[in-house]
Every structure is written in structure tokens, then in C-alpha cells.
Amino acid sequence: MEKADAVAPSPTAVTQTTAIDACALLSKEEIASVQGDAPAQTQLVGQSEGGLAVSQCNFLLPVGTNSISLQVVQRAEGPNARDPKQVWQETFHQSPPDAAKSKRARPLQRVDGVGEEAFWVGDLKTGAFYVLKGNSYIRITVGGEEDMEAKLKKSSALAQMILPRL
């Protein structure tokens, strides 16, 4: 073997190859069935932070405000790795915040029938849909002018497509 062939992969490359590719979890046709238009482009972003590996795909639609963002959160590799299910518990099942924090907090709504557990975090116009499955969770944001109920319905439909692929 020549010296050039013996290059070891960097730790970042190892993390990227073992993480789920968020862009591969939805097809253009599936997005069009929910949003009315197929993405013109996708952007994959991966990062490892706080002991978690996050794969994010931005599905960029022709009308930019209708775009969709999908994050898949998994356990990162290495000694500082955190259990996503534990982070989920800390995020969604912590004790009630004090009065000062609760004024800044966004409303949290439990959603039944999707994944092991799901929450809509947001208000009447904007928000994100979080769904737990096993030892990972997803976060979906759907753009557009619709109200929370419509965005929640679309996010739930997308989650139902994604969850079997995790």
C-alpha cells in the first residue's frame, strides 16, 4: 500500500458517516404532497454539539417562506456523548419554570398519536414539531402563511413518513 492510500479518516468524517442523513428521509414527491411544491434544492448541515449529533436538512422550496427544515438528533460519538432520550426528558419534562422564565417561554402542546411522544412548541403563527422515537428525536419546521393547526397537521404528516426510516 502506498503512503497516500494509508490516510486515516478524521474523527469528523467518522461522525458524519455514522449519522443519519436528514435529507434522505423525505423525497421531493413527499414534500410536494404536503407543501404543494417540491424543493428546488436541499442543504445538509451536520454538527456535533453538547454530546449530540445533529443532522439538519433544509428543503428549499421555490417560494422561500414555504421551505421545510428537518433535524435528526442522535447520540454523538466519543466520551462526552449524551443520550438524546435524556435530553428529551430534560427539555420536555422538567419542573415548571419560574415566573420570569415562563413569560419568555414558548407555549408547549402535547400531540398524541405521533411517535413515542410529540410536542408542538410555538405560538399561533410559528413553531416547531418535536417527535421522539427510540433513542433519537426529530424537529420539523414548516414554512408558509398557514396558522398553527395547518402547520401542525403538515408537520405530523411529514413525521409519519420519516419515523419508519429512522
What confidence tens digit (pLDDT) does each residue in 54-108 have?
999 999 999 999 999 999 999 999 889 999 999 999 999 986 555 445 544 667 8
Distance CA 87, CA 90 (A): 5
**Domain count of the fold of the chain:** 1
Q: Is residue 141 exposed (0-12), middle (13-18) or buried (19+ Cβ within 10 Å)?
A: middle
> Does 13 map to a domain?
yes
Helix (H, G, I), strand (E, B) or coil at 155: helix
User: Could you say which DSSP state residue 37 is in?
Assistant: S
> Does 1 map to a domain?
no
Which pLDDT value is given to residue 7? 31
Which pLDDT value is given to residue 31? 97
> Does 18 map to a domain?
yes
In terms of average pLDDT, the best of 2-6, 9-13, 146-150, 152-156 is 152-156
Name the residue range of residue 110's domain. 8-165
Backbone angles phi, psi at 115, to 5 degrees: 60, -165
> Does 126 map to a domain?
yes
Could you tell me the CATH number of the domain that includes residue 160?
A: 3.40.1000
Q: Is residue 33 exposed (0-12), middle (13-18) or buried (19+ Cβ within 10 Å)?
A: middle
What confidence tens digit (pLDDT) does each residue in 50-69 have?
899 999 999 999 999 999 99
pLDDT at position 124 over 80: no
> Does 134 map to a domain?
yes
> Does 132 map to a domain?
yes
**What are the cell numbers at 102?**
415562563
CB 159 within 8 A of CB 114: yes
Assessment of whether the complete model's pTM goes beyond 0.85: no
Q: What is the percent of the chain where pLDDT is above 90?
A: 70
- Compute, in degrees rounded to 10, the torsion defined by CA atoms 68, 74, 77, 82: 120
Distance CA 44, CA 14 (A): 16
Per-residue confidence band for 159, with pLDDT thresholds at 50, 70 and 90: very high
**What are the cell numbers at 85?**
432520550
Q: What is the percent of the chain where pLDDT is above 70?
A: 82
